[in-house]
Amino acid sequence: MNNEYTDAHRLFLQASLSERFFTEATAIELYNKAYEATDVQDPEAFTGFIATINTKLNTIDLEFRKSHEEETGTAVWALVNTNGDEIAKLATEYTPIEITYFRRLIELIVTAEDEAFSVSSILALKEASKLKPSISKSNGETLLQRFVDDKWLNKSRGGIYSLSQRTILELQHFLKEEFEDILLECTLCFDIVTKGQRCKVAQCKARFHHHCAHRYFDSRNDKACPTCKIDWDSNIIGDNGSSGSVSRIRKPNNRTMTRVTRRFQETEVGDNDNDNDEMNQDGDDGDDF
């Protein structure tokens, strides 16, 4: 297999720099165009093409990662940071107070009761008023809309906010570190799940993305839960109409919070020893089922 790094790879990268998050269909279209434009002989297949690019990107702590849109199962790609350093924060187009607000929203969403993984606009705006300096209602509304427009948050028709796939992908490292005991993993694909189904059996830990559940159950006759083997019957994970309002008891403990806060306050760019953790985490992400 040829994995020479060509202008087609460079052109693809240049094109993705402005957007950084797109569907796989778009990625393949870009990939085709990149080869058409450069007329490189003997093109790589798409998967190898991305792998070749990632080898280069890894030298500067960036990477293309694939995931699936939780609601639709659509394959998406994002250009993500593999370290959470100070320079990466420059990428966000937000002021420090806006970033603080975003972090509070993430916390509200992730800690929402009953695996709702969402927050109502009323609660979200209330949180804005609690900040110091506080964010007014109208500014809060504008900012929330910006988070949605920039694809960091999803907003349902009922005005309920939840994590976007971009956030799940790009802030994976941060999410896992801050909320490691709260976040749920899909039993089938091992990715974070904030919208999907859970086994009706209270003690059972089975959690599925909707698309993963379909893929799993469509291919077999018995409808038993793969974890507890009891007949499958599901509850909804995520915004199920009753927006998550009260935070769950399993709050991040103080130790975790302090560590995270400290990391956010760091000003030293060079000082980052999380890379190895990130590597290990990636290595643990199994995907065979």
Partner 1 sequence: MSSRNRRNRIVLDEDETEAGPSRPTRRTALGNEGAGNVQKRRRRDEEESEASSNEGSVNQHSTIAEKAAQKLTTEELERKVKDVVRLALFSEHRKQPIKRDDIVKKVLHEHSRAFQVVFDKAQERLEDIFGMSLAELPKKSFSTGGIRKPVGNKDKTTKSYVLKNILPQEYRETDIISWEKNNEDIMGLLTIVLSLIHVNGRVLSDDQMTHYFRRLYLVNNDKFDLEKLLSTFVKQGYLDKQKTSRTDQSQNSEKEPLEYRWGPRAKIEMPESNLIKFIRAIFGQDAPPDLDKQVERSSGIDLT
Residue ranges binding partner 1 (CB under 8 A): 5, 7, 10-11, 13-15, 17-20, 24, 28, 30-38, 43, 45-47, 50-51, 54-68, 75, 85-88, 90-91, 93, 189-191, 269-270, 279, 282-283, 285-289
Q: Shortest distance, CB of residue 225 to partner 1, whole angstroms?
A: 19
Let me know: does 138 contact 146? Beta carbons within 8 Å.
Answer: no
Q: Shortest distance, CB of residue 32 to partner 1, whole angstroms?
A: 6
User: Which residue, 77 or 161, has its beta carbon nearer to partner 1?
Assistant: 77
Q: Which does 225 bind (CB under 5 to 8 A by kind): Zn ion, partner 1, none?
A: Zn ion
Which residues are within 8 A (CB) of 247 and not within 5 positions of it... i.e. 6 or more apart? 108, 111, 112, 113
Q: Which does 146 bind (CB under 5 to 8 A by kind): Zn ion, partner 1, none?
A: none
Q: Shortest distance, CB of residue 212 to Zn ion, whole angstroms?
A: 3
Find the helix or strand (DSSP H, E) in which 154 lies. strand 153-155
Q: Shortest distance, CB of residue 50 to partner 1, whole angstroms?
A: 6
- Produce one character per residue of 186-224: b if its CB has 16 or more CB atoms within 10 Å, e if not: bbbbebbbbbbbbbebeebebbbbbbbbeebeeeeeeee
User: Which residue, 3 or 242, has its beta carbon nearer to partner 1?
Assistant: 3
Output the CA–CA distances (angstroms, integers) from residue 77 to 66, 141, 208, 218, 283, in the order listed: 4, 28, 20, 26, 19
Q: Which does 241 bind (CB under 5 to 8 A by kind): Zn ion, partner 1, none?
A: none
Q: Which does 261 bind (CB under 5 to 8 A by kind): partner 1, Zn ion, none?
A: none
Interface with Zn ion by CB under 5 A: which residues? 186, 188-189, 199, 201, 204, 206, 209, 212, 225, 227-228
Let me know: does 161 contact 105? Beta carbons within 8 Å.
Answer: yes
Start-end of H helices in the chain: 7-17, 24-38, 46-57, 86-89, 96-110, 121-130, 137-149, 165-170, 172-178, 210-218, 254-265, 275-284
The CA-based angle 188-194-200, given to 5 degrees, is 65
User: Which residue, 38 or 227, has its beta carbon nearer to partner 1?
Assistant: 38
User: Which residue, 153 or 212, has its beta carbon nearer to Zn ion?
Assistant: 212
Q: Shortest distance, CB of residue 245 to partner 1, whole angstroms?
A: 31
